[in-house]
Amino acid sequence: MKAERLQLVGMERARYFFPTAICAYLAGLCLILIVTSAFLASLQNSVAVAAAGVFGLLVTGGLGLVFWNAQRRDLQYTSVRTDADPEANYEAVRAAMLATGWQIVREDPPRRLDAQTSALLLEVGERITVRFRGAEVLVASICDPSVGFSLVGRRHCAEHRALVRNAVLHGMTPAVANEEAH
């Protein structure tokens, strides 16, 4: 079964995958460097330039693959099965979002809730999307596309998914969830 993913569209998708695109661009430059090395007059220079191009291609290609895999994994919804109906799950998650100070940007009761955290004055933080399907709650949390790949942001996203999971499974408030996490 194919895992469901949060769908980003347009510029939001381009901004989110920008680090991967940069790595692909640099890998392309390394390929051009390798091809160019064949036309150098000196064999010693040609080998050195080709070796540098191969090294750069491996590093940027590998880094781009790591970014791409991590970003696609972050877009996957995490499934939480509950005993409650969608309305009760929706209210529990909405209350947890409001209690934590997240800004709700889209509400479609009782099917979907989208929120974002506040980071700095001019930036938004992580994005959280929660879908409700029967007794199942699907949660996805990603770093803001304008920020790109961030290890700290990924840790925050995992905490956001855990908070939603605790809200629907245990009816925990954010304060109780934070106490249990420490």
Percent of the chain with pLDDT strictly greater than 90: 30
Residue 53 has pLDDT above 90, yes or no: yes
Is the four-CA dihedral 102, 106, 107, 108 of positive or negative sign? Answer: negative
78 exposed, middle or buried (CB, 10 Å; 0-12, 13-18, 19+)? middle
Q: pLDDT tens digits for 68-109?
A: 998 888 889 989 998 888 888 999 999 998 888 888 888 988
pLDDT computed for residue 5 by the predictor:
86
Calculate mean pLDDT across residues 108-119: 85
pLDDT computed for residue 180 by the predictor:
46
Highest mean pLDDT among 58-62, 134-138, 139-143: 58-62
Is the four-CA dihedral 11, 7, 61, 158 of positive or negative sign? Answer: positive
Calculate mean pLDDT across residues 9-23: 87
Give φ, ψ of 143 to 5 degrees: -70, 155
